[in-house]
Structure 1
Amino acid sequence: MGENIATRNQLQFHNSPAFDVSLDVQGGSKIVDEDGRLIRTGTLWTASSHIITAVIGSGVLSLTWAIAQLGWIAGPVVMVMFSFITYYTSTLLVSCYRDPVTGKRSCTYSDAVRSHLGKVQVKMCGFIQQLNLFGTTIGYTVTAAISMVAIKRSTCFHNSGGKDPCLTSSNPYMLAFGISEIILSQIPNFDKLSWLSIVAAFMSFTYSGIGLALGIAKVAENGKIKGSMSGMSIGVVTPAQKMWRTFQALGDIAFAFSYSIILIEIQDTVKSPPCETKTMKKATQLSLAVTSIFYILCGCMGYAAFGDLAPGNLLTDKGLSSPFWLIDIANAAIVIHLVGAYQVFAQPIFALVEKTAAKFFPDSQFITKDIKITIPRLGSYNLNLFSLVWRTLFVILTTVISMILPFFNNVVGFLGALGYWPLTVYFPVEMYIAQKKIPKWSMRWICLEILSFCVLAIALCAAGGSVTGVVHDLKVYRPFKTSN
């Protein structure tokens, strides 16, 4: 009864044809790999869909606003810079998937840090990773609710001819999103999320494509390209506001490229041969190339359409509003995408808590015992009461916090600042240095450390800008109130 609960969960759907994992051991088919865990079936395409699902999220909606703070020169340059930094450090990270001494696979990001940097660093990494994953689920809940409210208000405005102010609270929509996540959180692990990630990735292209197309149409309607070389000008905002907004924009862009937090977990679903590292480098290259092009096009076309007064959220915050039915489709796609993305980011938290609980309480029937439930035409499902209760409480907690702090841009910026440097840059760089035994003060070591330090400085500035924004919002916001 004290087995690894994550391992047990990986096996619990093997009798279900709905999840395509039915394998006959007696017939010679393998259901476990060399580590005694369910055999991995992930490919370049499933890994890419997971990455795209994680990358193209709420971050794309704030890029127009971010470029408006930076201007035509710095905006695109910063986006390209973050894209290259993310790709480079991601290749370092996937190279550290296996233990440098034993060759054992790392199931999680923390396992990789433990293998390369030791127990002290892994504690810091685990805390930052779980905090960032937790924060991201809150950000996704806020964003999904905002999009659902936008659909409601769009329909209301259309039906009333613009006469009704259409005051709408986001709280019921956050509750609806939370209920859907309680149900989906019973999916056991990443191996069972491929179908959800593929759907979510398709939704990403849908709303990004609509935003891009409508941005182009808006520019054509205006008959000119708006914006300036330096972004939001002094006079419209104070010098202090310009500085903090610029810092917050850096955090928004960093958040848009933050996915390394779950890269090792994604890599652990990839089958071998070929080598997992080769597959993941190709998946990273493909995914970042696609998402970066979308990001730059969406951000720049939105800025060209709205100029320095670009909205905080391209599809909801006084941004694109017609044709209303197409905007509704885009916002619906955002909601569907975030339903899947929430699970992609929540699963590592679920796995950690359940694994830890099974380790400390191996004889607890509540934690380790499964209840077999037969589902007609789908096979059987092993219900674990601890997983059911714990995952439900987690979703409830993130939903309540989202209802208290529904600040889109500032939450996005803070999450980007919080997680980008340590998880996307610092730990991959330090692990790579340890793995390759790069001599201290060598040219390569100096270049890697300079990269890490520069991104740290950017992250600190971004965090300052976002915190300042949250403080400003809290001065005027009243929780659980209807907003316009």
Structure 2
Amino acid sequence: MVSADEMQFHLEACEHGLEVQKGTNLLLDDDGKPKRTGTVWTASAHIITAIIGSGVLSLAWGVARLGWIVGVTTLVVFSGITLYNSSLLADCYRSPETGKRNYTYMEAVKNNLGGKMYIACGMVQYANLYGMIIGYTITASISMAAIQKSDCFHKRGHEASCSVSNNPYMIGLGILEIFLSQIPNFHKLSMLSIVAAIMSFSYSSIGMGLAFAKVISGKGERTTLTGVEVGINLSAAEKTWRMFRAFGDIAFAYTYSQILIEIQDTLRSQPSENKVMKKANIMGVFTTTTFYMMCGCFGYAAFGDNAPGNLLTGFGFYEPFWLVDMANICIVVHLVGAYQVFSQPLFSAFESWAIWMWPNSKFVTEEHLISIGGSAKYRFSTSFLRLIWRTLFVVLATVLAMAMPFFNDILALLGALGYWPLTVYFPIQMYIAQKKVGRWSSRWIALQLINFICLLVAAAAACGSVQGLSKDLNAFKPFKVED
């Protein structure tokens, strides 16, 4: 039997994600961990990589469902809420009394709100992270298949039947991620995140530019202040459900708080991490919102009520085909990096638990040097545990993505359920506990009002996602080949 004290120690070790290193002469921080080298620029790159997924290209669909007034207002409001709560969360990185660092989001919750909240946070966070990984596998494969379709349409005409299976692309992506998953920890992802951030700017700019070109050419379609209108093809109830789903899509597009503490833990200790992180939050959220507004608004202006779910893979644009192909390549490269950004907290948690359970096991702790290429051109070190477990992790995510090609709807549900607790509830409650904000004071009431409003929006978005998911389940066929 494991005692309560041992279990508590295990949970803390699991969250610390300490990498076992033997015989190293690395410069160390004051807590014995390798010295951090992150800056405001690397943190901003991590944030942009995490926030701007290919979902930015679906915002035109969301704005079309909500209309100009509600759509634009929703983008601005969620941007403000995300930035404000991210600033609150940045202050929770260190304990005010001791100055002790919280290495992960879950550890910050545990030290500020207690063990029960810690467990609840872990369940939501890890489910959300793994759901996003599966969703990224699906989305990246759709973009890869779209490249093949684009070339087919260019050669055979826009009305040609260009059926493509996404499954081979999912398998290929899984093989690549198996190799990338051997990157030891979050601190080694800076270059990958910078490349991914550049890619996100690239495909967002291409989608935005193509939509803008259509608008200024005079080919833009009719738009309204209230969005898609109720009529013969759309009932009032269905419009309401779609509006709820649009709220969920926009809320999910701003979700990155579940890895904010992990990003902050890469920053060097001077200047103060929370000040640097707040600057990175402003840069990341402002940049993201700018692209979201332009892609969503230009896309709606270009296509009106017929805005596709994805400007680049939904074939709102066919020509120039090479530019559409380039944008989809950028999406794939970005999602390859984002996959690793969201995987590392899961990798760290399991491996730290294994080290705690079997500290003397060579299978778990011993590092082995692996060489690839002639004359050992490429070298990296790994343990047998890391090699086998991370490979199985990627294989399972790939199989689930292939088995449930409609998983994007499940992902939207996870986003609706995860946005409120991870981005709003836990940061607000930790801030209240840390700053000892008095109950029923003006600040306490304002914070709880934000909390309650976001809960209502998340509940509505979840209901909309469930309604859309029910339609997919009626036609569910495991490992279905996508056309």
Normalised TM-score (structure 2): 0.93
* Residue in structure 1 matched with residue 258 of structure 2 by the alignment: 261
Is the 1:253–1:416 Cα contact (8 Å) retained in structure 2? no
Q: CA deviation at 1:223?
A: 4.1
**Structure 1 contact 63–252 (Cα < 8 Å) conserved:** yes
How many residues were matched structurally?
A: 468
TM-align CA RMSD: 2.0
Q: Is the 8 A contact 1:151 1:328 kept in 2?
A: yes
- Equivalent residue of 1:7, what SS? coil
Shift of residue 220, structure 1, vs aligned partner: 2.3
Aligned with 1:108 (options 104, 114, 123): 104
What's the secondary structure of 2:101's corresponding residue? coil
Task: Note if 1:360 corresponds to 2:357.
Answer: yes
Distance 1:379 1:59, change over 3 A: closer
Q: Partner letter of residue 143 of structure 1? A: T
Is the aligned partner of 1:419 residue 2:418?
Answer: yes
Q: In the superposition, relative to structure 1, how do residues 359 and 329 fare at CA in structure 2: closer, same or farther (>3 Å)?
A: same
Alpha-carbon distance in structure 2 between the residues aligned to 1:338 and 1:392? 18
Structure 2 residue identity aligned to 1:265: E
Contact persistence 2:158–2:318 (CA under 8 A): no
Q: Name 1:175's counterpart in structure 2.
A: 171
Q: Quote the residue 1:252 is aligned against.
A: 249
Tell me the residue number matched to 2:6: none
1:317 aligns with 2:314: yes
TM-fit CA distance, 1:233: 1.4
Q: Does 1:186 align with 2:182?
A: yes
Q: Between 59-68 and 225-234, report the one with greater CA deviation.
A: 225-234
Would the aligned equivalents of 1:13 and 1:380 in 2 still touch at CA under 8 Å?
A: no
In structure 2, give the amino acid aligned to 1:8.
Answer: E
Tell me the distance in 1 between the aligned counterparts of 2:439 and 2:42.
38
Gaps of 5+ in 1: 15-24
Query: What letter matches 1:240 in structure 2?
Result: A
Report the alpha carbon displacement of residue 322 of structure 1 after superposing the two structures with TM. 1.6
Q: Which residue of 2 aligns with 1:403?
A: 402
Distance 1:224 1:147 in 2: 25
Three-state SS of the structure 2 residue aligned to 1:226 is coil
Unaligned runs of 5+ in 2: 1-9
3-state SS in 1 of match to 2:380: strand
Letter in 1 for 2:454: V
Match for 1:368: what amino acid? Answer: T
Residues 230/360 of structure 1: CA separation in 2 closer, same or farther (3 Å cut) = same
Deviations 1:310-336 (A, max 9, x none): 111111123222211100000000000
3-state SS, counterpart of residue 187 of structure 1: coil
Q: Which runs of 4+ in 1 moved over 4 A?
A: 2-5, 11-14, 374-380
| Number of the residue aligned with 1:17 | none
Deviates more, 1:199-208 or 1:161-170: 161-170
Letter in 2 for 1:83: S
Please report the TM-score for the alignment, with normalisation by the length of structure 1: 0.93
CA contact (8 A) 2:144 2:329 kept: yes
The answer to whether 1:53 aligns with 2:62 is no
3-state DSSP class of the match of 2:93?
coil
Q: CA deviation at 1:117?
A: 0.8
Task: Report the Cα distance in structure 2 between the residues aligned to 1:270 and 1:411, rounded to whole angstroms.
Answer: 34
Could you say which residue in structure 2 is the equivalent of 1:20? Answer: none
CA contact (8 A) 1:167 1:482 kept: no
Task: Look up the SS of the partner of 1:8 in the other structure.
Answer: coil
Aligned counterpart, 1:81: 77
Equivalent residue for 1:337? 334
Q: What per-residue deviation string (whole Å, max 9, x for no partner) do you get for residues 19-64 of structure 1?
A: xxxxxx5xxxx61110100100000100000000001002202111
Contact 2:403 2:480 in 1 (8 A): no
